[in-house]
Amino acid sequence: MLRVFLNAFRVAEIRKKLAFTAAMLLLYRVGAYIPAPGINVDAVENLSDQFAGQSNILGFLNLFSGGSLQRFAIFALGIMPYITASIILQLLTVVIPSLEKLRKEGEVGQQKITQYTRYLTVALSFGQSIGYVFLFRSFSSGQADVVETFTFGRVFVIVMTLTAGCVLLMWLGELITQRGIGNGISLMIFASIVAGLPNGVSAWWTNPDPVFKVMMPFLAVAIIVAVVFMQEGQRRIPVQYAKRVVGRRMAGGGSTYLPLRVNMAGVIPVIFAASLMAFPPTVGELSQADWARDVSAFFSPNGAAYLVGESVFIILFTYFYTAVTFNPVEQADNLKKYGGFVPGVRPGRPTAEFLDRILARLTFPGALYLAAVAALPTILFNQTSANFYFGGTSILIVVGVALDTMKQLEAQLMMRNYEGFLK
């Protein structure tokens, strides 16, 4: 393994990409400690009880922002508004014909959709920033005000700072995808969760429940093993290529396989579901109405309603994202175009129906696995009354993003004839 890393760092291009990615993530973490202008830092430090663990939605959002929300830093919104905007645009492409047409236009259409996502991200960030300012003001009763001078000018500066911080994070994520090792948005969420690892270890070590202390390491290892096993699981569809006469030579022929992964969507459905389920309790926390607070308590991240809703959305998003990333009709047409066929299945439409049937059977257990891994640890923690810093969703995202990043490094190493990470 050490030799593989040394080989990776010997390639100048990969070394530059790794250094660039590390620099962008370091910039992200530095911004998480810079408070927004006009914020009373001493008053913010007294609000640590509001963000303890994931027992409420504020603690959950604080984890995904890397602790920025608790400090009311310039990156307090994190990258979640961009993810929410991406969800909305992907759902709208199904119901709005013009967006569906753009999606089918290839790279040019995708650039247009990305531009719309950016505009929507700015709007969502602006609205969420206003909500956070009033939410932190409500925490100021009985102590020093979080917002030093609550005037229109001061509120406007804070809101614009938080909005600009979210836009900057969106830009950094896109830069990591283009010039780094890829998966920029996922890596930023990964960095946010990993930043809370010391607090998570401390919460586990100082927990008074001895059963929880013993159970937690084994449960974490079991989740990691399950994630790796399911992420790497695939169904290999055999493909045979017919020989063709090209000029005076015989070309083509041979056999290969088409790999269909059990979890083709990766951790994207989990991130989408967590972002979507965080919306109702966030609105409830931002509002001062009693009914809104009841909604926030009903959809608490450790509550049954939240777990059921998150599991349902994970299953739906798994099917949706799999359908977006893998088109059986396109695959069947490509096989037919290049003289390939699945043994025992006629080319064309029968091949597309065969692939669609196999994909549906694979996606169902993959979706159930994602929902179970996301919900089961939280259920066990609720049964033991243990206040653990991480949940199943966090562990699933960290392991999934690490695997995807390792595969991308593997692909770049293989292109340069180096032995990679995966055997």
CB-count exposure of residue 194 (10 Å: 0-12, 13-18, 19+): middle
How many whole angstroms separate alpha carbon 268 and alpha carbon 265? 6
Q: Smallest Cα–Cα separation from 299: which of 318, 274, 317?
A: 274
For residues 50-86, one letter each, b for 16 or more C-beta atoms within 10 angstroms of the residue's C-beta and e for the rest, the string is bbbbbbbbbbbbbbbbbbbbbbbbbbbbbbbbbbbbb
- The identity of residue 41, as a single letter, is V
Residue 391 in tokens: 């949940």
pLDDT of 126: 92
Question: Which H helix or E strand runs over 220?
Answer: helix 210-232
How many whole angstroms separate alpha carbon 218 and alpha carbon 222? 6
pLDDT of 420: 45
DSSP result, 292-321: HHHHHHHT-TTSHHHHHHHHHHHHHHHHHH
Q: Smallest Cα–Cα separation from 80: which of 31, 125, 36?
A: 125
Q: Is the dihedral of CA 210, 216, 217, 219 positive or negative?
A: positive
Q: 237 has which bridge partners?
A: 258
Torsion-angle region of 412 (φ positive above 0: left; ψ -120 to 50: alpha; else: beta)? alpha
pLDDT tens over the chain, length 423 residues: 455 556 667 777 888 888 898 899 999 988 888 888 877 777 776 766 555 555 556 777 777 787 788 888 888 888 888 888 888 888 788 788 888 888 777 778 888 888 999 999 999 999 888 888 877 776 655 555 666 667 788 888 888 999 999 999 999 998 998 888 878 888 888 888 888 787 777 777 777 777 777 777 887 788 788 778 877 788 888 888 776 666 666 665 677 888 888 888 777 788 788 777 877 777 776 666 677 777 777 777 777 888 888 888 889 888 888 887 788 888 888 888 877 888 888 888 888 888 888 888 888 888 888 888 878 777 776 666 555 556 667 777 788 788 888 777 777 777 765 444 444
pLDDT of 121: 92
For residues 390-403, one letter each, b for 16 or more C-beta atoms within 10 angstroms of the residue's C-beta and e for the rest, the string is bbbbbbbbbbbbbb
How many whole angstroms separate alpha carbon 147 and alpha carbon 41? 9
Q: Crossing angle of helices 268-277/304-325, nearest 10°?
A: 140
pLDDT of 232: 79
- The identity of residue 57, as a single letter, is I
DSSP 8-state secondary structure symbol assigned to residue 289: S
φ and ψ at residue 65, rounded to 5 degrees: -100, 5
Q: Smallest Cα–Cα separation from 130: which of 20, 251, 286, 285?
A: 286
Q: Are 57 and 300 in contact (CB under 8 A)?
A: yes
Domains delineated in the chain: 1-195+401-423 (1.10.3370.10), 200-390 (1.10.3370.10)
